[in-house]
Amino acid sequence: MTHIDIRHAHSLDPRRAREVMQEVAQKMIDKYQVCCRWEGDSLHFERPGLNGCMVMDGNEVHVTTTLGVMLRPMRTMIEQQIRQQLSKLLPDS
């Protein structure tokens, strides 16, 4: 298994950050057919070959992802896309 671990600081209030995370979840559902569920301030997502979690922790979002064998070669591209979306949707100060 291959892991991705990203921490991204942002300047949004917690309510707005959660709304943005829900928008990201909807995009993931539409584009990648993942299943998403909230557990408190954690948004869990999964599909065959991929599972992960986005956790709101104050003014930071922590994203962890585990990639299966088939997605392992795409790790760098997937990590770059996650970082780009976080920067775009969750502005830092």
Note the pLDDT of residue 5.
Answer: 97
Q: Each residue of 19-57: pLDDT tens digit? A: 988 888 888 888 888 999 999 989 999 999 999 999 998
Helix pair 14-32, 75-89: axis angle to 10 deg: 140
pTM over 0.85: yes
User: Mean of the pLDDT values across residues 71-83?
Assistant: 90
Asked if 56 and 8 touch (Cβ cutoff 8 Å), the reply is no
In whole angstroms, what separates CA 59 from the centre of its chain? Answer: 15
Confidence of residue 93 (pLDDT cuts 50, 70, 90): low
* 28 vs 86: CA distance, rounded Å: 13
pLDDT level of residue 6 (50, 70, 90 thresholds): very high
Measured CA to CA, the distance from residue 23 to residue 63 in angstroms comes to 15
Which ranges constitute the DSSP H helices of the chain? 14-32, 75-89
